[in-house]
Amino acid sequence: MDQAQLLQRCQAGDELAWEVLVRTHQGRVCAIAWHYLGDQDEALDLAQDIFVRVYRSLDTCTDPARFEHWLLRIVRNGCIDRLRRRKARPPRQDIPADEMTSLASQAADPEQQWLSTSRQKLVHVALQRLSEINREIIVLKDIQGLPLEQIATMLDLPLGTVKSRSSRARVELARAIVELEGGPAPAGPPPVGGFGAEAAS
């Protein structure tokens, strides 16, 4: 379906067009929110808020060709805003162990549904270990496949900075994966030792 027509119908208040728009983009919006926040429930909650925000400001999207860019910007701003609020929020109180047992859902772990392979799970966990800026660049470039120019515009950074940060982010992700796999510590150069030290080890 043509994006421009769909957007025009949505702006005119066509509920069916809006439903199609939601179904088209909900997977991507939820995935981005999930990778930013790391928590599935919070991501779903935020994704709902984002769609409500999109619905209310549909009229401000005047160029249908740039709808996805416009949407991604709203998603990213929502995630950053939620992360800021989370930092400002006092830490939650610990739940007693017996209460935890009763609260535990009997249903399958929802993240199991979103991560089908062990490698996807490992990458997702490693992603949460990255610094915020590196995680953001991985999410936008390597997961969502956005061009570097668009990321630079979105993050308001020079293109060269985004390129170099992208390389560093991938190295940091690989390092986190190696640590999670229990492999050799790859941080920094290998230890320097004399012949005796090598032989003794």
Q: Does 195 help bind another protein (rule: CB under 8 A)?
A: yes
Are the C-beta atoms of 163 and 152 separated by less than 8 Å? no
| Residue 155 to residue 31: CA distance in whole angstroms | 19
Q: Which one of 2, 94, 156, 198 is in contact with another protein (CB under 8 A)?
A: 198
Q: Does 160 help bind another protein (rule: CB under 8 A)?
A: no
| Residue 48 to residue 53: CA distance in whole angstroms | 9
Residue with smaller CB distance to another protein, 59 or 94: 59
Q: Hey, what are 156's tokens? A: 């308001």
Q: Which one of 26, 64, 69, 154 is in contact with another protein (CB under 8 A)?
A: 26
Q: Fill in the per-residue mask, 87 to 116: x = in contact with another protein (CB under 8 A), - = not in contact.
A: xxx-----------------------xxx-
Within residues 53-92, the interface with another protein by CB under 8 A covers 55-56, 58-59, 84-85, 87-89
Sequence-distant (≥ 6) Cβ neighbours of residue 6 within 8 angstroms: 17, 20, 21
